[in-house]
Amino acid sequence: MPEALEPVRPITLEEIRDARSRIAGVVVRTPLVRLELGPEYPEIRLKLESLQPINAYKLRGAANAVALLPEAERARGVWTISAGNAGQGVAYAARAAGVLCTVVAIETAPTSKLERMRALGARVVPVSYDVAWQALEARQYPGIEGTFVHPFDDHDFIAGHATMGLEILEDAPDVAAVVAAIGGGGLVTALGSAIKALRPEIDVWGAEPETAAPAARSFEAGAPQRFDAWEASFVDGAGGKSVFPRMWERMRPVVDGSIVVTLDETRRAMRLMAEKARVITEGAGALPVAAALTGKAGPGPIVAVVSGGNIDLDTFAELIREA
């Protein structure tokens, strides 16, 4: 059985700054570029986490979490559960530390993500979405040994992601709102932890697809909710069937809400970024831009976190053709 979990506690600025120093040799300080759309649109700037070595932000948290593991836990190897990007992050960080890695991967993840995890040296165990979600709650999976690194409900993982918030405030001191996709909630919690500690007046918004929006429902109800109408879509890196109570406890004090967008709006955002900024993004990475374009995050300046660019190119071409 898994060990008893530590109580949820806030991520401190000291922990975020320490994480920044710790992972500096592994992650990239990603650029912030303006999305030129014209005066009738909100002012949007793109935080291009798609330019990380694994083409996704998850490397920040994974590098910090793996670096902080005691030697005895590293020696056992590490494992995680992922739709693709967290698996790549943990595999990359584990390889750099000389640690064995296993990923219980959602079998419908894009082929490019599964192949990249294997290329990074991870053993990949494909499972269904429901089985993966149950394993996330249980923090165990039959036959898997080693130290479990949770892909979102992990204090050190979140502290690593929060280093992005420091970069945003340094590069865009005039920012009025930050928007990031919500999957498990680790990214938006991390951003809120850093940004609200230094600039509490800045809004921090999540973004979810209409087919998987439990966080928006949770903010409306004031308590963690399930999303029984969940549907699989090309937005595989965000949205879930529920908000974990522990993640709601982390998220609620530092996040202002979640903006729900349609799949069509997400496709259009993917196409817009490709046309205007030559940025290739996966569905989850386009959610914040789609959310910003609704006007619900205000006129800006808005920083939209492009969380990842791991998408099969044939799929990308088909989606933007449909937009």
The DSSP call for residue 56 is: B
Identity of residue 146: G
Domains of the chain, by residue range, sit at 13-56+155-322, 59-148
Range with the poorest average pLDDT among 87-91, 268-272, 277-281 = 87-91
Task: Give the pLDDT score at 239.
Answer: 86
Alpha-carbon span 129 to 125, nearest angstrom: 12
Identify any residues that bridge with 106 across adjacent strands, giving them in sequence order: 127
Of the pLDDT bands very low, low, confident and very high (cuts 50, 70, 90), residue 3 is: low
**Cα 96 versus chain centre, distance:** 21
Most confident listed range (71-75, 110-114, 142-146, 294-298): 294-298
* Closest by CA position to 46, among listed 296, 281, 312, 295: 281
Strand, helix or coil for residue 200: coil
66/313 Cα distance (integer angstroms): 31
Closest CA to 282 of 70, 60, 84: 84
Per-residue CA distances from 22 to 11, 14, 18, 249 (Å): 16, 12, 6, 26
pLDDT score recorded for residue 2: 54
Virtual CA dihedral for 16, 237, 199, 272, nearest 10 degrees?
Answer: 130
- Whether 74 has a pLDDT exceeding 90, the answer reads no
Give the number of other CB atoms < 10 A from CB of residue 244: 20
Query: Would you place residue 58 in the very low, low, confident or very high pLDDT band (cuts 50, 70, 90)?
Result: very high
Of the CATH numbers 3.40.50.720, 3.40.50.1100, 3.40.50.2300, 3.40.50.1820, which one belongs to the domain with range 13-56+155-322? 3.40.50.1100
Residue 1 has pLDDT above 70, yes or no: no
State the average pLDDT over residues 187-209: 98
Is the domain spanning 59-148 CATH 3.40.50.1100? The answer is yes
Cβ atoms within 10 Å of 124's Cβ, excluding its own: 19
Within the chain, residue ranges assigned H as helices are 13-23, 58-67, 71-75, 85-97, 111-119, 129-138, 155-171, 186-198, 214-221, 245-251, 263-277, 283-293, 313-322
By percentage, how much of the chain surpasses pLDDT 70? 99
**Neighbour-count burial for 30-64, b at 16+ CB within 10 Å, e otherwise:** bebeebeeeeeebbbbbbbbbebebbbbbbbbbbb
Which of 187, 229, 223, 222 lies closest to 205, judged by CA? Answer: 187
C-alpha distances in Å from residue 102, one per residue of 87, 120, 122, 126, 134: 8, 11, 5, 11, 17
Quickly state the pLDDT bin for 85 (edges 50, 70, 90).
Answer: confident
Summarize pLDDT for 98-129 with one digit per residue, the tens: 999 999 998 888 888 888 999 999 999 999 98
**Can you give the pTM of this predicted structure?**
0.92
Judged against a pLDDT cut of 70, whether residue 318 lies above it is answered with yes
- pLDDT at position 16, please? 98
Mean pLDDT of 227-240: 90
> Quick check: 70 pLDDT over 80?
yes
CB atoms within 10 A of CB 5: 11
